[in-house]
Every structure is written in structure tokens, then in C-alpha cells.
Structure 1
Amino acid sequence: MEPLGDRPASLLSGGQQQRVAVARALATDPKVLLMDEPLSNLDARLREQVRHEISRLAGKTGITVLYVTHDQIEAMAVASRIATLARGEILQVSAPVELYEQPANVNVAQFMGSMNWLQGRIDQPGVAKTDVGDLKILEPRSNGGKRFLIGIRPEHLRLSRACEGKTNEFEGTISSRTFLGDQIWYEIQVGEKILLWKTMSSDKFEGTVYVQLPEAKLQVFPAQD
């Protein structure tokens, strides 16, 4: 930025203007810095650069930063603790990894990233009847037929080309494959349900596959009305 010192801020690029705004805020040596959607007007490449810079500066200066965003990637990238809010209510305050892996409810789970959702009913302890068939779950109690939502992250599905006879394994058909550079997304038709699978493997799957939903990765929530 030093070579641009004589240039008015209005003639700087979006990323440069954001850096100037951060520098101005830090110049007063604040105890708390509020950032409200600071990267919303930047393109994807600049957002990544500037959020790394914000995270680095916060760590270097020791300033407490309150960072408001609707982007869960930004939240996880810059925060040591995240508070998720909906309709003015705080739903959960936790470290990013805990929010992602142990969300308190459906709203938190959805905010923190993509989920496969199954409608379920638990008639006997540890077994849920769902859209794709009976699922074994880590849910020890019977709930008298009450409805539940059962979620699993796309990266937690496991695929094979042949049936391995594992718990929570179902036959499916690959319906689409999307290459995104560092990851590949598949849509898999299992009965009437489409499941998403995210992988970093270049091994290509086609046709009939077998999908396993590991019970340790299933998240069970009361169904929302």
C-alpha cells in the first residue's frame, strides 16, 4: 500500500479501500473493534485475502474484534468463538469446530454449512425410520413415534461400488457430478431422496453405488413445525 500513499481513497480498489478502513480503525488503538459485513462488496479472491489480513492483525494486536457476517466460511476463518443469532436470539456460542460438529439445533446446523436432512421417526431405542430406510442412531431412548430431523454433512457420507454389509448402508444411483477444483460434489438418488456427497478424491463414481451414513456422524434434532 505504501506506493499508493498519495492516491485518494476514492481511487483505490475495493480491497485497498477495505485495508485503509481497517488501518483507520486500528489507528485509534481501540479495545474493541466492530466490523459489520466488512467484506460484502469484495469479489471471492479479495474476500479471502482481506479476511486473512483481518485475522492476522487481530492476533498480532490482541484487539477484541466483533465481526458480523452471514457467511459461515468467513466466521470460521476469522473467529475463535462464534455466536449464532436468529430473530434477535442467541442460539449458541462456541468455538467454530464445536458449532460445526455439535450444533445446538437445526438453525445452527444449517448456518454452519450444507447438510443432508432426513425426516425420521423413532419407534424403538436407537432406530429411526427415515426417507431412505431404517437408520441406526446414537439415540438411546424411544420417543413414542415422535418426528425428528436427522442430519449428516456431505463429507461424512461414505461411498463404495459394492455392498459391504455395513450398518446404515443403502443402494443409490449417481445422478450428477460437479467438479469444483479442490473438491467434487455428487448428487446420489437413494429411493425418493437426493443425498449430497462432498469428496476431495479424484476417483470417479458412476451408476450404482452404496452409501453409508455412519451413525457417529448423524445429528438428531426435534422436527420443526
Structure 2
Amino acid sequence: IEQSVSKEDTSSLYMVAIYAPLIIIIGILGGILPSANDIFAGEKERKTMEALLMVPVKRLHLLVGKWFTISTFGVLSGVLSTISFVLFVRYFTVTLNDALNLTNHLVAFGASLLVAITLFALLAGLILCIFSLLASSVKEAQSYTSQIITVAMLPYFLMMGKSVNELQSSAFLIPIYNVFALMKQLLYGVYDMQSLAYTAGSLSVCIIVLFTIGYTMFTKSRWVLGKG
């Protein structure tokens, strides 16, 4: 009986580890996408970017404001998706609730997951800002977005065949892949500060590099005002 329960719990936790990251990441992207495609490409298409640039505000502040706005939507959507998933497991399932035991590690789980959600939202928001700058219209930006989502979800499928014990330290240095790896660790009750530090560090470096690229583009009229 003990072995049967153990297998059932393992199977249930595996299901949680499969669905939870997918729901959270889709939640983050779902919060970002509606405004990301319109935030630069839409203004270029409507010819309102010129008027915005005439406002006595530095371009750096405009870029940061737009980036933080769409990233905040992503963070809020990711947090709400997480809460909804946990509440659903808690009150509408039995075996999954027993497998996902967060009672003793709720603070560590919530804090670590919030760091991952925030950094992923900032990174995704910045990537979409850059592609929105590249696009001349909302429709063009949407075509870029579909490809970005496909690439962003590849690490999820690669992670499905990995167990927590197989995750090496180097896995937490690979941007986006490390977010899924960290989520898997947290869901299995593994709280490793080194993994969290590696994930936060690598994502922060990516954000700094991409922000430099985005800001450079935002200072060029070619990208800000479009082909016209």
C-alpha cells in the first residue's frame, strides 16, 4: 500500500510539474501580448509616434515607461495564473493537492516563483518591444510574435523529459530554459539558492544586453518612425 501511494503521489506531482509552468508562462505572455504589439508598431502605423517624441521627456524614460507597463501586465497575469492554479489544485483535486504540498515552504516557493515570473516578464516584454520597433505595422508585429512564442515554448518541451535530479548547474545559466528548470525544482520542493541566483543573474545579463539594443534602436528615427 505504501508503495502504491508513493507511485500515485509521484505521478500526480509529475502532472503538476507538466501543467503548472505551461499555465504560468502562457499567463505571462497573455498579459504582455495585447499591448506589446501595439506599443511601438501601432503608434508608427497610426502616425502618433511623432507627437509622442515632441513631448519634453527623454527617450530613455519613454522606452522604460512603455517596457515597464507591458511587463507589469505580464507579472500581474502570471501571478494571477499561479494563484488560480494553486487554488484549483487545493479545492478541486485530491491527489494533486496531496502531491503539491506547499504548506511548509509557502514563503520560499512564492518568493522564488515571483522572482522568476518578474524577470521572465521583463525579458519577454523587452524582446517584444524590440520586435515591435522592427515592425512597421501591428500585423507585422503579430507575425513576429507568433514565431517568438514558438521559440519561447521550446524549453518547456525539452524540460518535460528531465527529472529534477538530472538538472545541472549549467541549466540555470540558459535564459528562458532556466525559468522552466527553476519552476520544476520549486514544484518538486527543491529550494536551491544557487539555482535561483544563476537564473536571476543570467536573465539580468540578458535584460541589460537587450535593453542596450532596444535603447539604441529607439534613438534612431529609422526604427521609431517607420519606413514612411
TM-score, length of structure 1 as denominator length: 0.21
Larger helix fraction of residues = 2
The TM-score normalised by the length of structure 2 is 0.21
Bigger relative CO (Cα 8 Å, ≥ 6 apart): 2
Indicate the structure with greater strand content.
Answer: 1
